[in-house]
A and B are shown apart, each in its own frame.
Chain A
Amino acid sequence: MATHAHIETSVRLRRSAGAYVTPVLATALLAVLIVWLGINFVKGPAYFFTISFIGLTNGAVYALVALGYTLVYGILGLINFAHGDVFMLGGMFSATMILSAFHLSTHASTGELVAAILVSLFVAMAACGLINATIERVAYRPLRGASRLAPLITAIGMSFILEDVAIAWKGPGYTAVPAVLPHGQVFSIDGVVYTWEKLIVVIITVPVLAALIWLVQRTRQGKAMRATAQDRDAAAMMGIDVNRTISFTFLIAGALAGAGGLVYALYFGQIRYDTGFQLGLIAFTAAVLGGIGNLPGAVLGALCIGFIQAYNEGLTWHAPGTNWTESIVFSILILILVFRPEGLLGERTPEGA
């Protein structure tokens, strides 16, 4: 970056100081975190595990959304601000399917429930995938040669437009989804309770994630995606239709968001036009925490954030509480971006991203 000898020395000095400070700070923070978790664990082990299951469920929802961010960032280097709102629309589609198409109530039989969930999942994934690909075609593709910030700004604009679509569709209030999932216990050992609705979230999430990893790692289209992410020009020269591959990536990311929306609507039972924005930012933090552009990293980051949120909101001994969740998550985001921008699993790239 710097050709001037003087600048270069100053940069090197700062690097070395930073290299000394970062591990110390990180270790201290981690130590405090572990001590806090340990004390909470000793005070009530069964309760601690119950809270952990909530964290796992949160993490599963975040993982579905975070993967969309990471996929798009990996291939375009674009933070798709509208992604959280696509997720929210997925929740709206699912709510509509469950309420209006299937008229599910809390007493639905298992067969009905499975069929309804599968059909809703398909509809939400297809609709959100199409919406996301359309957004890419309309708002991002014309700006591909422009400055890096231009598509980011249109992404913010698209995010607001999607929120208004949701307002026009469902109104500014919460859309309630009846608690159709069974709330019985899967097991209860020594006060550690695991309930069915949490297990169902994981049951829906894991196959979707497995299918995604299979798609990216094993198929021809996945290979094209990885090639485009690595070097767009070289991929184009090798005969890959780059535009089509990017559209496909957005389709997949949107489908994941749709699945996340269904899971969210089923598990949390209410959804509103601005749900996606907040949750999207948290999921983006998860993607950055795991190392943006890295698929396993996104899942790992989402689980971390899910646990952190659950512990913060659920634990009793000196937990900051629900009021501070966002501040904590965004502090993590800022700390990670400043001190370890490559995330937990990412590799340090020449641009420092």
Chain B
Amino acid sequence: MRRRIAERVSAAWWAALTRAGLSPARWQALPRLRRRAVKSVLWVAVGLVLVAAFGTWKASALAVAAVVILLVVPPYQKLMVGRFPLGKWIVPAAAIAIVISYPYYLNSMPQVPIFGPFPMLSTMVAMMIFSMMALGLNFVVGYAGLLDLGYVAFYAMGAYMAGWFASDQFSKQHLDLGAVGQTAGAIGFHFSLWLVLPMAGIATAIVGVIIGLPTLRLRGDYLAIVTLGFGEIMPQVANNGNSLFGFNLTNGPEGITPIDSPGFGGWLHQHLHLPANYVTVGNYDAVFLWTTLALVILTVFCSVRLRDSRLGRAWIAIREDEVAAAAMGIPLMRTKTWAYATGAFFGGVAGALYASYKSGAFPNDFFFQISVFILCMVILGGMGNIWGVIFGACFLSYLDREGLSNVGAWMNGHLGTHVNVPLYEFGIYGAIIVIVMLFRPEGLIPSSRRAAELHEGVHDDPLYDAETV
């Protein structure tokens, strides 16, 4: 149905254009640059119409300029300086520069029509952390093609690792390993957060392997259900964990709070001017933003390198055809378990970092909706594509934090409706999932390989073509 609609729309367009004297053949015969220019002029026209419709010229001019630059500028991505592929680094470097300098120019940014002000710093931190989680889930869903509906379990595990090893939770213990801002002899484990993050990642990866080993033999949809089951059990254990045979593991519904914040300690502060303790540094959110950005860059680096490694190619082979991959000698179980463990690792690190940022781990944060929320990021952006996943994560966590309420306020103000838009958050995500899966299963920014798969459906032999009847 989708293809038929698209064809009909396209045919109507070309009919109109042919009447105006432009046939498909003539259009294709134009030089590439001129086609880009024509397209960009059209886009500018669309942008101007939107500006006229929605108001403020100043802000929309920025968007229009960005579109023009993206479309008119010649293919800069192939730019080489000597042997160094400079072009490949332009977009990532620009993105990093924008995020690093964000705290400095945030206050001078104008209001955007409909969406309101630019995201606050705390929202940016959430966007970065969810990018990390979505990239972690991308290992499982995007690369290895295993549907994981219980990713929130890894997030919870990471958060509780931070709760156990960087707070007063275990009151009978006294162990301080480089934590900042603690008085001597504080109760509980107090490890430096730089130690807790890898610990959380490794512990979560181990949990991932424990979950994965018995279950990864199952077929795709059964695996999804089993992970969903784990994702449902985990918060319940956290909720009831204040008296597991008399032992208070998770402090029950109240959660573990406060959790220590990161910091570099006095020596590094003196010599390198790194913040000694994030809480006392003054611009808590900005420092956290840079920290999370560094971790996102690390995650992206690992994603790229792993994707191109032997292991990553094995994941993609399994995703495309499990039987053929096994026939080529790829050990299915081990490869899938690695995907699971890697995804879990980054989920755990992100969870621990988020718990430290929020200074608490609460069982109510870890429900099934969060798993779907993260899955929606991966699907919207484009399964298997790193930039797509980051875009999806940033956009959806922005909507979650500020976007939906801002848009809702604009809508109620201008259209005279009385809709509490954030109440319908998950229905909106559901609609996004359905629409993307039906009309553009490869996501907004697809990886070309995944797009081909999803359109041809190489997973199973198509048993019955519904379109032909």
Contact = CB atoms under 8 A, between A and B. Distances in A.
Tell me whether chain B's interface is mostly helix, strand or loop, or mixed: helix
Interface string B309-346: 00000000000000100110101000000000000000
Nearest to A324: B240
Contacts of A141: 466
A1 interface: yes
A163 B457 contact: no
Interface stretch (A35-43, A117-125, A334-342): A334-342
B31 interface: no
A203 interface: no
Interface string A267-303: 0000000000100010010001000000000000000
Contacts of B466: 141-142, 144-145, 243
B437 A327 contact: no
A157 B469 contact: no
Interface string B427-469: 1111111100110010000000000011001111011111101
A323 B218 contact: no
A334 B326 CA distance: 25
Contact of B229 (A145, A160, A168, A330): A330
A338 B426 CA distance: 31
Interface in A135-157: 139, 141-150, 152-154, 156-157
A233 B239 contact: no
A237 to B, nearest CB: 11
Nearest to A79: B221
B438 A338 contact: no
B219 interface: yes
Contacts of B229: 330-331, 333-334
B237 interface: yes
A334 B226 contact: yes
Contact of B427 (A145, A167, A281): A167
Contacts of A281: 228, 232
A353 B225 contact: no
A236 B217 CA distance: 32
Contact of A331 (B233, B327, B426, B430): B233
A160 B437 CA distance: 15
A148 B220 contact: yes
Contacts of A156: 149, 372, 375, 430, 433
B2 interface: yes
Interface in B211-264: 214-215, 217-222, 224-226, 228-230, 232-233, 236-237, 239-240
Contacts of A154: 433-434, 437-438
B432 to A, nearest CB: 7
Contact of A149 (B228, B236, B239, B459): B459
B89 interface: no
A223 interface: no
A167 B214 CA distance: 38
A269 to B, nearest CB: 24
B463 A153 contact: no
Contacts of B389: none
A139 B469 CA distance: 17
Interface in A1-34: 1-4, 7
B147 interface: yes
A149 B434 contact: no
A195 B454 CA distance: 55
Chain B CB within 10 Å, residue with most, of A3, A139, A157, A172: A157
Tell me whether chain A's interface is mostly helix, strand or loop, or mixed: helix
Interface string B394-436: 0000000000000000000000000000011011111111100
A184 interface: no
Which of the four size classes fits the interface of chain A?
A: 35 or more
Interface in A337-353: 337-338, 341, 351-353
B1 interface: yes
A232 interface: yes
A79 B225 contact: yes
Chain B CB within 10 Å, residue with most, of A2, A78, A172: A2
A139 B437 CA distance: 9
Contacts of B230: 330, 334
A164 B427 CA distance: 5
A309 interface: no
Nearest to B322: A1
A284 B438 CA distance: 25
A163 B426 contact: yes
Nearest to A146: B457
B219 A353 contact: yes
B224 A149 contact: yes
A312 to B, nearest CB: 13
Contact of A3 (B221, B327, B469): B327
Contacts of B219: 351-353
B430 A1 contact: no
A326 interface: yes
B390 interface: no
B232 A164 contact: no
A143 B460 CA distance: 12
B372 A160 contact: yes
Contacts of B323: 1
Contacts of A150: 437, 441, 454
Contact of A338 (B215, B240, B462): B215
A160 B431 CA distance: 8
A161 interface: yes
A161 B430 CA distance: 6
A157 B375 CA distance: 11
Contacts of A158: 430, 434
A149 B221 contact: yes
B379 interface: yes
A246 to B, nearest CB: 9
Contacts of B237: 327
A180 interface: no
A144 B457 CA distance: 10
A132 interface: no
A3 B375 CA distance: 34
Contacts of B469: 241-243
A159 B430 contact: yes
A300 B431 CA distance: 35
Contact of A161 (B222, B327, B431): B431
A151 B218 CA distance: 18
Contact of A148 (B217, B221, B327, B464): B221
Contacts of B236: 323-324, 326-327
13 contacts: A2-B326, A4-B326, A149-B459, A156-B430, A157-B437, A165-B427, A172-B423, A323-B239, A323-B240, A330-B232, A334-B230, A337-B222, A353-B222
Given A152-B220, A334-B226, 10 more contacts: A3-B327, A142-B438, A145-B465, A145-B466, A149-B147, A149-B459, A161-B430, A164-B430, A334-B215, A337-B225
**5 closest A-B pairs (Cβ-Cβ)?**
A164-B427, A160-B430, A157-B433, A147-B459, A145-B462
